[in-house]
Structures are given as structure tokens and as C-alpha cells.
Amino acid sequence: MSTPSRAVRIHAHGGPEQLVIDTVDVGEPGPGQVRIRHHAVGLNFIDVYQRTGLYPNAMPLALGMEGAGVIEAVGEGVTHLKAGDRAAYASNPPGSYCDVRVMPAMNVCKLPDAIDFETGAAMMLKGLTAQYLLKHCKPVEGLEPGDHVLFHAAAGGVGLIACQWAKHLGLQLIATAGSDDKCQLALAHGAAHAINYRKDDFAAKVKEITSGKGVKVVYDSVGKDTWDKSLDCLRPFGLMASFGNASGPVAPFAPGILGPKGSIYVTRQTLFSHITSRERTQRMADDLFGVVSSGAVKIRIDQRFALTDVRKAHESLEARATTGCTVLL
């Protein structure tokens, strides 16, 4: 039996004009798969990289890596979900911008009753990213309450979750953001300091805030525009954690530059190295569900678009016109 579904796909890499709504047939789930009917799907910057071809994929490509809805059917061997369960996920392969899909069950988690579908759709990819960054991507000297970390683009989807979670962990998060209003938003969500990096020299400000010492970790998803100065924000043995390229990819560099800056460490992280098993995905998701359910981390959805307005949603995200999370309905 096949079920028709709208699916946002691209047939060639390019701008938002490449996003088209096709009708596709969705079949029955095979071994290790589920069929999920979405109530909401999350928009993420990685969807932009996949659309433009910065992260290339075969065509046609169905976009979207995050969603929440109800399980309609499960394939052989799937024991953690059943038809009728509320569920949410961050997962490969892309394809969440649709009504209904068949997908691997491994990264799909039961959604606690206290968390609504829109929140579930908005928080999985961004929240699990904040989780691994703050809990598993640490400097060799560790992270203790009171330590300073620098977090770029802190008023965005991942950013506002990280601000709150860092505060919950007792960290002094120094936020950067692209406007004074965005800086205020980061401060209202737990950042200890905020720097408008379109106006101020963030490396100089970080030195000022940390009395010349620098931070233990820089979490950098902006990439090209912030890379060089970010290296100057670290204290000796600090960690440069690159996890995105909103302004473009980081240029190649010689490891020799890391010594004089204090024998600093560099890593390039992706969520998909962290959620490679069902157990690990569930452990991280439970941690996220815990902070969201307790209210320590609030998932702020500042933009809602109809699936048919997906082009506008991409344009807003790329124009730096969004704050917090964005969902497609």
C-alpha cells in the first residue's frame, strides 16, 4: 500500500527558488524503519548547506532533518516505538519537510507527553547539538562551573538553547550576535555577557571580560568570518570547537599557528558522530527532555511557516532575520 505525501525537494543545488513541493508515494516501513506522520518539522541551517551544495547530495533531494509527529507503522525489529506513539527526531537521511515519510527508527525517540509537537520538532537537532557541545566537547582541562566559554550566533536556534543550558551548568557563557536586540535576547536567556560582533571587536571584548585570560572553549558555527579572531579568544590549552559555517567554510590553515596561541586544540564536530546508536541517541534525548520538561531550557519558536512557504523560511534564515527556532507546519 502506498500513501501520497507532499515533500519539499530540490532537483538541483542553488537558492531558495530550487525548493519545490512534489507529491511522492510513501510505502510501508522495512526492517528497522518507521512511518511517521508529521505535525511539525524543524528548520535548520544544515538544510541551507544541503540546498546550496556546500554539503552535496544526490538529486532529487528531499530536505529536512528534524520533525515530530505520530508513528503510523513500524517495521520488523523496531521495539522502542509502536503505531500511535508520539515521536520526534533529528536524523539522517534528509527528508523531514513532508507530511509523512518512512525513515530509519534508530534516531526516532518517543516524545514525552508534556512536550508538544511544535516544541519537539524545533528542539531535537538543535537541542541534541547543544547537549553534545556542552557535555561531550570539552577542553582537556575540563569545564567547571564559573568557567568562561564563547558561543557565536547565540540568539539563533542552537544558540538560545545553549545559553540556557550553559547557565544551568553554571558556565559563564559569553554570547556573540549580529544586533543589539539579539544580544539582549541572549542575555535574557542566560548568557553572562553579550557582544554585538557586527559592531565590536569580539576578541578584544572577550579579553576585557576575562581579565586577559581568554576562554576555555569557543563554540563557533559561523565559520569563515569568526575563525581567525576566535583563535585569539582562547586561553592556553583551550579548545576551538568548530561546528558550522553560516558565513562560509573555514579556509585551510597550518597547524603551526596553534602553538604560539597557547598550544590550543581544534576540533570539527557534527551531531551525526554522536548519535550513531539507539542507546546513545536515547541517552542524549533523555538529557534534553529532562531540561526542557523541568523548564531549565525553554524552546523558543519565533517563526512559524506553512510548508508551502518554505522558500520564505529559507530566505529569512539566510538573511539573519530569525531568532530562536523556526518550524514548518
List interacting residues with ligand NDP (CB under 6 A). 44-46, 125-126, 129, 153, 155-159, 177-178, 182, 221-222, 225, 243-244, 246-247, 269-271, 317-318, 320, 322
User: Minimum CB separation from ligand NDP for residue 30, in Å?
Assistant: 27
State how far the Cα of 272 lies from the Cα of 261, in Å rounded to an integer.
30
User: What sign does the CA torsion over 16, 19, 20, 21 have?
Assistant: negative
| Nearer to ligand NDP (CB atom), residue 102 or residue 301 | 301
State how far the Cα of 84 lies from the Cα of 33, in Å rounded to an integer.
15
Closest listed residue to residue 293, CA positions, set 114, 25, 61, 106: 114
User: Minimum CB separation from ligand NDP for residue 84, in Å?
Assistant: 30
Beginning with the edge strand found earlier in the chain, give each strand of the sheet holding 148-151 in spatial order. Answer: 193-196, 172-177, 148-151, 215-220, 234-242, 265-268
Q: Which three-class secondary structure state does DSSP give residue 128? A: helix
State how far the Cα of 60 lies from the Cα of 155, in Å rounded to an integer.
33
| Nearer to ligand NDP (CB atom), residue 3 or residue 316 | 316
Q: Which three-class secondary structure state does DSSP give residue 188? A: helix
User: Minimum CB separation from ligand NDP for residue 260, in Å?
Assistant: 27
| Nearer to ligand NDP (CB atom), residue 70 or residue 187 | 187
| Nearer to ligand NDP (CB atom), residue 70 or residue 188 | 188
User: Minimum CB separation from ligand NDP for residue 33, in Å?
Assistant: 23
Q: Which helix (H) or strand (E) holds 304?
A: strand 301-305
| Nearer to ligand NDP (CB atom), residue 222 or residue 284 | 222
| Nearer to ligand NDP (CB atom), residue 198 or residue 207 | 198
Closest listed residue to residue 198, CA positions, set 152, 254, 239, 259: 152
User: Minimum CB separation from ligand NDP for residue 134, in Å?
Assistant: 13
User: Minimum CB separation from ligand NDP for residue 130, in Å?
Assistant: 9
